[in-house]
Amino acid sequence: MFGTFDAIWRELVAAGAVTADEYLRMTLPQYYNTVAELRAPLEDEEGPVHRAGLRLEHLETRVVGCPFAAAFRRDGDVDAFARSYIPTLRSWSQSTFFGALDPSRPEQERRRIIDDFYGTYAERVRRAPEGHGMDYVHAYMTIARVRAAI
């Protein structure tokens, strides 16, 4: 997904539809905690979380496969895959991409660029659906509260 985002935006820069500065502003501000970072506040005996009595009993990560790709593998409907997958991506990424476009551009032009971007992505899904999907890695934590040490 991130690779496809990048490839399409680079193509738009190469075509002159988006400037290099706009491309650079299209950074998605995401950070994924490591398992060690998830554990840290619960295991730091001097920290406020531990002192409040919270203890980590269990932590594991699991990959949850993309539900849209799974539906495609079950039913083979590539159009349904594109129609469900692209709006989900758009729901959390569009504001970043739209906000990166120069505000001196007319709003209608910015909206057209965004629509073209997601339209291009949808066509890529239709042409090669096996190469697309958005798997999730979830951390499952069991946390218990014991008598606070404070």
Give the model confidence (pLDDT) of 82-132 as tens digits.
999 999 999 999 999 999 999 999 999 999 999 999 999 999 999 999 989
Each residue's pLDDT tens digit, 128-145: 999 899 999 999 999 999
Q: What is the largest CA-CA distance in the chain?
A: 63
pTM for the full predicted model: 0.81
Tell me the pLDDT band of 149, cut-offs 50, 70 and 90.
Answer: low
Q: Determine the CATH number of domain 2-145.
A: 1.10.1200
Output DSSP code: residue 69: H
Quick check: 134 and 68 in contact, CB under 8 A?
A: yes
Residue that the structure tokens 């594991």 belong to: 60
CB-based burial label for 39 (10 Å; 0-12, 13-18, 19+): middle
